[in-house]
Amino acid sequence: MDNSFILSFLSDLAEHNNRTWFALNKGRYLNAVDLFTKEVADFIVHIAQFDNNVQYLRPKDCIFRIYRDIRFSPDKSPYKRHFGAYIAPKGGRRSSFGGYYLHIEPGNSVLCGGIFCPDKTHLRMLRTAVDENFNEFRHIIENRNFTKQFDGIYSPEVLQRIPVGFSSESPATEYLKNKHFSIAHYLSDDEMCKADFFETTLEIFHSMKPFNDFCNEALEL
């Protein structure tokens, strides 16, 4: 798969993010989103071979709209600067469970897993699972297949203190402060356009599965 057409369109969209330009380039947008939809469909089929929780998803369940909600945003750009799809159990893009996120954006493409921005109930469930099963959790994140693809756990928000209800003596202290339990692997534009993009991405997604499984078991999937 060659994502160069998608990246080219998104690059131009970022430079001309207005309704007039978008209307004049609607044909390019439709071609780009058609390529992306086929890509997501292929990923669903292949991910389902190692994670059957996603086997009934359709691309339209997973792909996010390009239109931004600008009602409460100081940035009034009407369109997102990326294409995104979340291939996750129980709802795709609407799912609260750990899955496989594909984000295509010039200079900022990324593959993500785990759970980003869980609600309070789910966050406590995740912290409890890490605290009570820390050896299993550590085995997953220290596994060679994991460390090859991911630079630890991604949590842009971290508490200063151990959350209420957990012991400061816990060996999981470092992770109990996290507000997110997600993982990320960034891809350059060149990597996005390589002939082996699909196979490489699928391998990275496969490496996410043990971490996703841990998170989803914590949320009682």
Residues 178-196: pLDDT tens digits? 999 999 999 999 999 999 9
Global pTM?
0.95
Is the per-residue pLDDT at 147 higher than 80? yes
Is the per-residue pLDDT at 73 higher than 90? no
User: How many CB atoms within 10 Å of residue 168?
Assistant: 8
How far is it, in rounded angstroms, from Cα 41 to Cα 34? Answer: 11
Is the per-residue pLDDT at 89 higher than 80? yes
Q: How far is CA 172 from CA 62, 126, 166, 169, 218, in A?
A: 33, 12, 10, 8, 15
Query: How much is the average pLDDT of 68-86?
Result: 91
DSSP state of 177: T
Mean pLDDT for the chain?
96
Please, which pLDDT band fits residue 221 given cuts at 50, 70 and 90? confident
Residues 13-60: pLDDT tens digits? 999 999 999 999 999 999 999 999 999 999 999 999 999 999 999 999
Residues 28-37: pLDDT tens digits? 999 999 999 9
Is the per-residue pLDDT at 69 higher than 90? no
User: How many CB atoms within 10 Å of residue 127?
Assistant: 24
> What per-residue confidence (pLDDT) applies to 92?
97
Please, which pLDDT band fits residue 72 given cuts at 50, 70 and 90? confident
CB within 8 A of 65, min separation 6: which ones?
80
> What per-residue confidence (pLDDT) applies to 106?
98
Is the per-residue pLDDT at 114 higher than 90? yes
